[in-house]
Amino acid sequence: MKAIVRMLDRRKVWRSLPDYPVYAPPFRYEESEIPSHGQIEQNYQYFLRHKADRLKYLADYLAPFSVVLKLEATTLPVLGRWLYRYGGHLDPGRGEVVYALHHYNPPWTGAYHGLNIINDISIFAGDYIVSKNRFTRWDAWFGDGTQYTYEMMGCGQPCIFGSHRPGYEGHHSMLDEIYDCCGAVRQRWKRGVTPVDPWDKPGEFERRFSYLADADAPPPVPFSQSRLQS
């Protein structure tokens, strides 16, 4: 019975997905290629120019599922329930998905088309945090100056900065966050046992992003004060 429900759910998810606009920044990288500062900046400017359009595409896509996108707390549980049920159908489940996700190569078409929805949900989640938490902002992460930076999550991508919640300091990749959510759903279908991934729990989407968007999050500690405290 569960297999039949998942089959029907997949049809719903993919019914209009092939026509969903593809997110295609100007620069794509090979597996071992290190993006330049200029390439990362141009991809980030592409992100900024298209961010509003991506949210409109997402809102139109989710409307038939009775999900209404608003930067309000009431949206989180609704979107979270949608991901808990349907998110696994967005994960290609292929070996090259890591390169597609971080390097945009392979492009997000065909079997990888679901990454466009994952990307746009990550934009919504990031915008929600920024709209509520005055210390946070979008920015590109250019790495930490080491030659292995390109292997780190969020390298060359738009990330959320300014969060001072434990575990979320520094840059934070919303794209990786939402992909992990969808991957956890897919793994649950394979395991068929009690969830072990933190993302694979009902209400986790709402809990996590409510935590990050908390308007009463503590402000950053000045460097001089942090040295005194240490």
> What are the domain boundaries of the chain?
2-229
CB 16 within 8 A of CB 62: no
Query: 227: which residues sit within 8 A by CB, 6+ positions away?
Result: none
Query: 147: which residues sit within 8 A by CB, 6+ positions away?
Result: 34
β-pairing, 137-140 with 158-161? antiparallel
pLDDT tens, per residue, the chain with 230 residues: 688 888 999 999 999 999 999 999 999 887 667 778 899 999 999 999 999 999 999 999 999 999 999 999 999 999 999 999 999 999 998 777 888 888 898 999 999 999 999 999 999 999 999 999 999 999 998 866 555 455 556 677 899 998 888 878 778 899 999 999 999 998 888 776 555 678 888 899 999 999 999 877 665 555 443 333 43
CB 65 within 8 A of CB 87: no
Give this prediction's pTM: 0.89
